[in-house]
Amino acid sequence: MSATIDRAAIATAFKDIQDGICSSLERLDGGARFREDAWQRDGGGGGRTRVIADGALIEKGGVNFSEVHGELSQQAARALQIEGTAFYATGVSIVLHGSNPWVPTIHMNIRYFEVDGGVRWLGGGIDLTPMYVDEAVARHFHQRLKGVCDAWDPGYYTAYKRWADDYFFLPHRNETRGIGGIFYDRVQPSEREPLDKLFGFTCAVGRLFAPLYAEVADPPRDRAFTERERDWQLLRRGRYVEFNLVHDRGTRFGLETGGRTESILMSLPADARWRYDAQVEPGSPEAATQALLRKGIDWAG
Amino acid sequence: MSATIDRAAIATAFKDIQDGICSSLERLDGGARFREDAWQRDGGGGGRTRVIADGALIEKGGVNFSEVHGELSQQAARALQIEGTAFYATGVSIVLHGSNPWVPTIHMNIRYFEVDGGVRWLGGGIDLTPMYVDEAVARHFHQRLKGVCDAWDPGYYTAYKRWADDYFFLPHRNETRGIGGIFYDRVQPSEREPLDKLFGFTCAVGRLFAPLYAEVADPPRDRAFTERERDWQLLRRGRYVEFNLVHDRGTRFGLETGGRTESILMSLPADARWRYDAQVEPGSPEAATQALLRKGIDWAG
């Protein structure tokens, strides 16, 4: 069965996932449609950047597919710690920022990478960044991720949940970006992890995205909010910007290697705020959320 | 004369410069005072972070002094490409964001660094980021910088203006952060550049800051503006955030080596905005500014 899983099959599956997600999100949003920018890459390949803005639910977001190939620069090869420079990469990347402060920001990415026809790997994940952590929602979110993980491997959830905790972390703030989720990167096919399993799991993560987002983002979408909650949303988005620009490896790698800037930075929110030494009020909802922005919380347990 | 220019003398001069600038800025602003946070660094030294917010002119800014010493981590020493790990560093860093879109953002930094009592260097600079480039203001700004440079060395302005063009540049946007200014870094004392000259010039840059800011920021402070101009201001601030978090070496070095996060990130604006593929309208004031965000413009000529 593995024999049929080649670049073309993977890219086709990823495009189908992008299509399905965009259709679902347009139905869910009900107020805005995606705008597509098809682009070509000078060195080879291209992509379909799809962005949505000023919707009834989603304030700003993107659901991007790309399939690029060519020669890695020495710099890029060093950054990836690989030998060889002829590469192929395809993936789907999503970030959605809601308008309402009660709607969490979500991120999903699935990716396949190949060098010189030899080394190849898959990666992916979904993570959630609520402005206010609702513990019931956090548990539901992680249980759904655990459900998909468990269907493929009993070890996936524990390993990939920890990986997300470690990855979506801002050392300079000593806090996690949100409540995490699952993350895995550069997983190479092996006897224990044949390509069809890795690929099947990665597609399952992709297909989980749209229903899972609806489950966590639809219920609070029309909930009333105050200026204080809007202010907190903007400050939390400032942290999101900090993570993406300072730490996120995909963002930094893309910007440093001449990726398409507008497609990469679609992940940034419409508006973000910084205030010197912003402190949460003890006992407040903001303080409760701040206390939950740490690694190692067993949400699915 | 050089014999008297030691760490203590430099730190004292820098603190005096900070004091003078804060007094001048409070008089200029007329609506807000600085708040000081004195802080200690675990490994040695500390600083005086002074921030101002919601003023009549300045929406958000900081005038920070720090004097730190201790042992550099291996990582930090590698990043600085130096041997030796016992270091001493002192400096003044300023960023001021105006409320009004016609008021430019300004940045100033002067710094002294010493390793193991051997290698030592000075650095500094002032650069300006207008939301809308007023060419007369840009010429005045650069001529004032050239005046101070020329008083110390006929070669400084040309060299340090080019250095600023190269440093304050966003490769992923192919644009400069603003209209530049002067920038110099890691200049070591030598026969041609004795310490008293380097230090004298650096202090002159520091003392130029307050009057120069008043000259460029005070005239437009009450000028009426539209929603469109406010929107453009927010988008330009998004680019400022991108520069500081993705490219600025001081910011990245500080965050990576456990610097005081709130002091480092005082440079970020109160509010910033991103919009997918934001384009300027041909022939508009925004397009005119965009066309001037490039290297090599001879503003002082």
User: pLDDT tens for residues A14-70?
Assistant: 999 999 999 999 999 999 999 999 999 988 999 999 999 999 999 999 999 999 998
**So what's the pLDDT on residue A202?**
98
What is d(CA A187, CA A195) in angstroms, rounded to the nearest whole number? 10
Answer yes or no: are the C-beta atoms of B277 and A37 closer than 8 Å: yes
What is d(CA B42, CA A300) in angstroms, rounded to the nearest whole number? 38
**So what's the pLDDT on residue B117?**
61
For residue A93, which of A33, A167, A21, A146 has the smallest C-alpha distance? A21
Query: What's the predicted TM-score (pTM) here?
Result: 0.96
A132-160: pLDDT as tens digits: 999 999 999 999 999 999 999 999 999 99
Tell if the CB–CB gap between A275 and B270 is shorter than 8 Å. Answer: yes
> What domains can be seen in chain A, in order of their start residue?
2-291 (3.40.1500.10)
Give the E-state strand segments of B41-147 in sequence order. Answer: 45-53, 58-71, 86-98, 105-115, 120-129
What is d(CA A73, CA B97) in angstroms, rounded to the nearest whole number? 38
Query: What pairing do the DSSP bridges indicate for beta strands B105-115 and B86-98?
Result: antiparallel
User: Chain B partners of A172 at a C-beta cutoff of 8 Å?
Assistant: 255, 261, 264
The more confident residue out of B74 and A233 is A233
What is d(CA B124, CA B226) in angstroms, rounded to the nearest whole number? 36
Q: Which two tokens stand for residue A88?
A: 């192929």
Tell if the CB–CB gap between A241 and B272 is shorter than 8 Å. Answer: yes
SS (H, E, C) chain A: CHHHCCHHHHHHHHHHHHHHHHHHHHHHHCCCCCEEEEEECCCCEEEEEEEEECCCCEEEEEEEEEEEEEECCHHHHHHHCCCCCEEEEEEEEEEEEECCCCCCEEEEEEEEEEECCCCEEEEEEEEEECCCCCHHHHHHHHHHHHHHHHHHCCCHHHHHHHHHHHHCEECCCCEECCCEEEEEEEECCCCCCCHHHHHHHHHHHHHHHHHHHHHHHCCCCCCCCCHHHHHHHHHHHHHHHHHHHHHCHHHHHHHHCCCCHHHHHHHCCCEEECCCCCCCCCCCHHHHHHHCCCCCCCCCC
Interface of B with A in 212-231 (CB under 8 A): none
Question: Distance from first CA to last CA of chain B, Å, rounded?
Answer: 35
Is residue A3 very low, low, confident or very high in pLDDT (cuts 50, 70, 90)?
A: low
DSSP for residue A271? E
How close does chain B come to A171, measured CA to CA in Å? Answer: 8
Q: Which two tokens stand for residue B300?
A: 């002082």
How many percent of chain A have pLDDT more than 70?
99
Catalytic residue selected from A69, A97, A107, A172: A107
Interface check for B53 against chain A (CB to CB < 8 A): the answer is yes
B57-93: pLDDT as tens digits: 999 999 999 999 988 877 777 777 777 778 999 999 9
Q: Which two tokens stand for residue B133?
A: 């480039």
What residue ranges of chain B have pLDDT lower than 70?
A: 1-3, 117
| pLDDT(A294) > 70 | yes
Residue to substitute from A73, A237, A253, A276, interface B, most B β-carbons within 10 A: A276
| pLDDT(A77) > 50 | yes
Determine whether A107 is an active site residue.
yes
| pLDDT(A103) > 70 | yes
For residue B11, which of B85, B65, B71 has the smallest C-alpha distance? B65
- The amino acid occupying position B188 is Q
Torsion (CA) A283, A285, A287, A293 in degrees, nearest 10? 140
Residue to substitute from B242, B273, B274, B279, interface A, most A β-carbons within 10 A: B274
CA B46 vs CA A21, B23, B49, B71, B110: distances in Å = 51, 22, 10, 14, 17
- The amino acid occupying position A144 is R
CA A175 vs CA A17, A54, A239: distances in Å = 32, 29, 10
Tell if the CB–CB gap between A277 and B37 is shorter than 8 Å. Answer: yes
Residues with Cβ within 8 Å of residue B83, at least 6 apart in sequence: B77, B115, B116
Q: Which two tokens stand for residue B117?
A: 């009592």
Query: Using N-to-C axis directions, what is the helix angle for A135-152 and A195-217, rounded to 10°?
Result: 160
Tell if the CB–CB gap between B275 and A270 is shorter than 8 Å. Answer: yes
Is residue A267 very low, low, confident or very high in pLDDT (cuts 50, 70, 90)?
A: very high
How close does chain B come to A31, measured CA to CA in Å? Answer: 18
> Looking at this predicted complex, what is its ipTM?
0.95
> What size, in residues, is chain B?
301
**So what's the pLDDT on residue A4?**
84
For residue B184, which of B162, B201, B160 has the smallest C-alpha distance? B160
What is d(CA B239, CA B250) in angstroms, rounded to the nearest whole number? 17
Q: What is the mean pLDDT of residues A269-295?
A: 98
Phi, psi of A72 (to 5 degrees): -70, 145
User: Residue A70: how many CA atoms within 13 Å on its side-chain side?
Assistant: 16
Mean pLDDT, chain A, rounded, equals 95
Q: How many contacts, defined by CB atoms under 8 Å, are there between A and B?
A: 78
Answer yes or no: are the C-beta atoms of A74 and A56 closer than 8 Å: no
**So what's the pLDDT on residue A1?**
46
Answer yes or no: are the C-beta atoms of A13 and A203 closer than 8 Å: yes
> What size, in residues, is chain A?
301
Q: Which two tokens stand for residue B96?
A: 């001021």
**So what's the pLDDT on residue B2?**
47
Q: Which two tokens stand for residue B194?
A: 């004795």
Cβ atoms < 10 Å from Cβ of A23? 12
